[in-house]
Amino acid sequence: MSRAFDAIVIGGGHNGLVAAAGLARAGRAVCVLERRDEIGGMAAEGAFSDGTPKPRMAHLLYNLSPAVLADLDHDRKALFETRALPTVCLDPEGGHVVVAEGRPHFADGAPHPEAGPYHALVSRLARFGAILARLAEAPPPQLAQGMTDLQGLRRLGTLGALGWDFRRIGRDEAREFLRIVLSNAHDVILDEIADGPLAGALAADAVRGAWAGPRSPGTVFSLMYRYARGGGAALPMGGMGAFCAGLAARARVLGAEIRTGAEAAAVLVEGDRVRGVRLADGSEIAAGCVLVAAGPMTAMRLAGPAQFDIEAVRRLRALRAKGTVAKVNLRLRDLPEMPGLTAGQMAGRLVLAPSVARVERAFDPVKYGEMSEDPVIEAVIPSLTDPSAAPKGGHVLSAIVQYVPHAPRGGWTQAGRDRLLATTLAALDRVAPGLSDRVAEAEVLTTADIEALTGAPGGHWHHAEMSLDQLLAVRPVNGLARYRFGPAGYYLCGAGAHPGGDVMGSAGRNAAAVALADGVAA
Amino acid sequence: MTEHGRYDAIVAGAGHNGLTTACYLQKAGLKTLVVERNDWIGGAAVSRSLMPGWTYSNCSYVCSLLRREIVRDLDLPRFGLQVIPYEGGASFTRDGANFGYHADPAQLRRELRRHSPRDADAYRRYRQTVLRQCRFIRPFLLRPAADPTSMKPRDLGELAFLLKRIHGLGPRELGETLRFWTISIGDFLDEHFETDLIKAHLAGSGIIGTGLGVYSPGTAYVLLHHYMGDVDGAIGAWGFARGGMGAISNALAAAFEEAGGTIRTGAGVEQFLVRDGAVAGVALGDGAEFRAPIVASNMDVRRTILKHTPREALPDDYRRAVERFRIRGSSAKLNIALDALPRFPAAPEGARFLRGDLHCSESLLELERAYDDWKRGRWSKEPYFDMLIPSQIDPTMAPPGRHMMTVFVQYAPYDLEAGGTRSGTNWTAERRQAMAETVLDKIEVACPDIRRHIVHMEVRSPKELEDEVGLTGGNIFQGELTFDQLLFNRPVPGYARHDTPVKGLYIVGSSTHPGGGVMAAPGANAAREILTRAGRGRAMPDLAA
């Protein structure tokens, strides 16, 4: 056995790093084990063959928790720098709409007829989202346990704060919140604005990463999460790599050790307590506390199903994680024009979702294991904002492509990948004619590739579907929702835990807080 | 000469909920008039003879949800209501396989094992879960929905009842309940079963009447709307009302008239009359006017408010909330008179499970595809149907040796897509017939000689349901059963107690809590609310006890 730690974090994605930093900040000796040679997980940086960096999967920050940043006890600028990007709702017919600060206008400067209702809608979503954000910053509330102990009282405190939020927004708003929170994005959006690129982009935000279309009930919940902080998107300067490096640097400064190329093979359990981790190379590291940022099933397998009661195992097996997102990274020789957009506007977050109906239509094929012929795309050209993104000239276009099946019939083949790339390029060509002729290098990551690279189950961006039946008190599954995961000292700290995915960091932060409160990480 | 008159209360619409409300108001001593647009009563719980000798339950077609507390309290059996349980069900596939959903537990278990031993075990867990959820929800059906945003003592009392029930569940069971209420029927079944045919057989109850697919979150809850009933105390069982669904309405009407109430058919409400913010009466289509300080509308909330209530009597935000109320039709109906019992070659001769609900859907994905068609404004190419031959059990439905078949079809949109437009007016006779042919083609999977036996067939699209019964959009639940339209949100937030901004005007149909299915619970709940507000709460029996 090598040197003992107070706690080990398996997985060097952003949630793992945040958890490690939280434990280190409390004075615990922490070691992060990352299977790959670079940290970052979903937020990792990659490189094209000529060395040009590329955001491998996640490419923007939408929703990084301010509490996480505050906890890192640091001036945000020193960790990493970001630029807020406007959202550009692309219209294949040319009527592109630019949204900045929740206010839309046409790309040519003309006022948008629905600017008022749109602003009112997203402001409301932001107000309601702020209530959900409060829920995200703590373990999920439990209704069924009373005031039998101090913890029970503390839990009621969270609910009390929630109740206060309700009083504060007023009865009518509270009613509206309760009406739409479990509703579907299709209806809530189209009640306020007509269908088109502006509505389509909102719908796309409601379902990004999800196995759901805008008509699926529950999609307003995710839209509220997304718009909790206004719905803006920020580009990390220096790429997602700089963001991860910032987190890692902070964790290290606080005293955490980060080992890359160190694959955890098993979590060692003695009696009903965790006592360390065995690595793939056979070596063992002792620790009384292990946090795991991997998918819930992987976390279970690491400790062994025998450590979980049979109901928990059954529920984990039934956990849904069907990824629907592919990533296409393009290195461009030069930049095509996008008719109707200025170069400045092209630097925004480009959303190709011409209408809510088309987002729903794009979802349909994945239900049957097929891919969308007319995909929804969120693209960004970081090199227009950040000169370091393409140091050798040219440009980088990073595209999140939805929907693709997590398990197409016969599996992902080269032909399937080629078709995905061709479909994506064809869609982009419609708004940026000639783009496909300028591609110097393309990388296609299917759901299967994403799973292989990051371990995300089913290639799902949120490790488990963020549908209502897998959220809050039942995320990832009923009975394992409060980060404690099977044996004493074992915690789930990844996106599979409450509050779920996106580069939020809250799961890592909350899990570390629970581990500390349990006193095992001492 | 126009007719006039004064009553204590008027009920607009003689559907089962309107009649239930009317019964309780009349029995509490209010002189009550029921007005009905059609020449017959019953709304969507109706029996009609469209072919001499045959009786059609031509809208709703099976019975189980009708609250037995109400049946008992109003003594409906004395007025001719008799419910006969049916004897199983079955699903058939194109390649000749079938799944028999036997009523006998041992037989069902054998049948499940024949398909998959694992599924036979899973079925026990599945059934326990569903029954647990039924037991949890049933006490809420005959109570007002707790409104968490209200500070009124009555609402706080309901909230306390709800929290007590929730607390009583314990954390684990509460988690399961939260999941059950939010998961899709498809995912729920996938968690339990491995056999496509079994999943498809059980999935129908989660989507019947909804604008949702089997993989839409929330459809497992819809299942409860088909399970929380009982026949003679057997929870989840289904039965036929002897003489068709009209027997329910007729029994209610008889009970109402025996108590001294009056029913007037042939003219519906044209306008709810409003004076100084309060309802004053109704003006009917034939020019008659009746006065009453209490008016209960059995029409859905959209029709009541947007079509028949003066605009100036309503605050804008309320009107808007009603405009947003989702009430999209998704189902059609075929009612078929047969000259003989058709053959089901895949089933043993005389199989009892044929006296139940029959289906030809083979997988969840097939059902989901059927939903995709609806989203695009078309009827399903591979429709789901719930097909029954009630005359096998109830000989009053057809002449001796002949049979009556009811086929509930999903999905069929109200706004049919044709020639680039989506509209109810696109439902021409030819298109209705084309839809019927699609359905018949599929019925042939189970009974290949069906077409030869057809004596008469009535085809009802959502448009006919709207035109005849008055169900907006042809929605059988008077409003979709989605989270945002259930409990205290039904029909609109802040007005879950059947009331409207117009004093004295109430909504008593399935648009209100606890929603659709021939339950009569909304009608009874509304009566309790109306009587309480009129200071006669004591006259209402405590059905929830």
In this predicted structure, the answer to whether residue B2 has a pLDDT above a threshold of 50 is: yes
In this predicted structure, the answer to whether residue B388 has a pLDDT above a threshold of 60 is: yes
Per-residue pLDDT reduced to its tens digit, B286-296: 999 999 999 99
Residue B100 lies in a domain: no
pLDDT at res. B369: 98
Q: Nearest-CA neighbor of B373 among B387, B384, B363, B362?
A: B384
Which residues 442-501 of A are in CB contact (within 8 Å) with B? 467-469, 472-474, 478-479, 481
Instruction: Tell me if A398 sits within 8 A of A445, measured CB to CB.
Output: no
Helix axes A171-180, A150-169, angle to 10 degrees: 110
Question: Is A143 near chain B, with CB under 8 Å?
Answer: yes
Q: How many C-beta atoms surround the C-beta of residue A488 within 10 A? A: 14
Mean pLDDT of A504-512: 94
Which region holds residue B467: left if phi is over 0, alpha if psi is between -120 and 50, else beta? Answer: alpha
Number of domains in chain B: 1
Distance CA(B283)–CA(B306), nearest Å, equals 16
0.90 cut: is pTM over it? yes
Here the ipTM equals: 0.94
pLDDT at res. A177: 93
The answer to whether the CB atoms of B493 and A179 lie below 8 A apart is yes
Provide the domain limits for residue B305: 2-45+62-83+243-326+477-539
The answer to whether the CB atoms of B369 and A171 lie below 8 A apart is no
Per-residue pLDDT reduced to its tens digit, A486-503: 999 999 999 999 999 888
In this predicted structure, the answer to whether residue B437 has a pLDDT above a threshold of 90 is: yes
Which of B124, B216, B318, B481 to mutate: most A Cβ within 10 Å? B216
Mean pLDDT of A268-278: 95
Residue B128 lies in a domain: no
Residue B461 lies in a domain: no
Q: Residue A160: pLDDT band by 50, 70, 90 thresholds?
A: confident
Mean pLDDT of B456-476: 96
Of B174, B215, B372, the CB nearest to A143: B174
pLDDT at res. A147: 45
Q: Nearest-CA neighbor of B468 among B63, B54, B59?
A: B59
Pairing label, strands A395-402, A325-332: antiparallel
Token pair of B253, please? 């009407």
Per-residue pLDDT reduced to its tens digit, B298-341: 999 999 999 999 999 999 999 999 999 999 999 999 999 999 99
Lowest mean pLDDT among A53-62, A158-167, B384-393: A158-167
pLDDT at res. A167: 78
The answer to whether the CB atoms of B178 and A145 lie below 8 A apart is no
Residues in chain B: 545
Question: Is B482 near chain A, with CB under 8 Å?
Answer: yes
Residue B212 lies in a domain: no
Which H/E stretch holds residue A399? Answer: strand A395-402
Q: Nearest-CA neighbor of B65 among B137, B126, B11, B13?
A: B137
Residue B6 lies in a domain: yes
Residue B310 lies in a domain: yes
Chain A residues lying within 8 Å of B183, measured CB to CB: 467-469
Structural domains of chain A, ranges and CATH numbers in brackets: 2-46+63-79+239-319+465-518 (3.50.50.60), 116-234 (no CATH)
Token pair of A250, please? 């902070």
Q: Which residue has the tokens 């299977």?
A: A35
Residue B93 lies in a domain: no
Closest alpha carbon within chain B to A146: B167
Question: Is A171 near chain B, with CB under 8 Å?
Answer: yes
Q: What CATH number did the domain enclosing B41 receive?
A: 3.50.50.60
Residue B148 lies in a domain: no
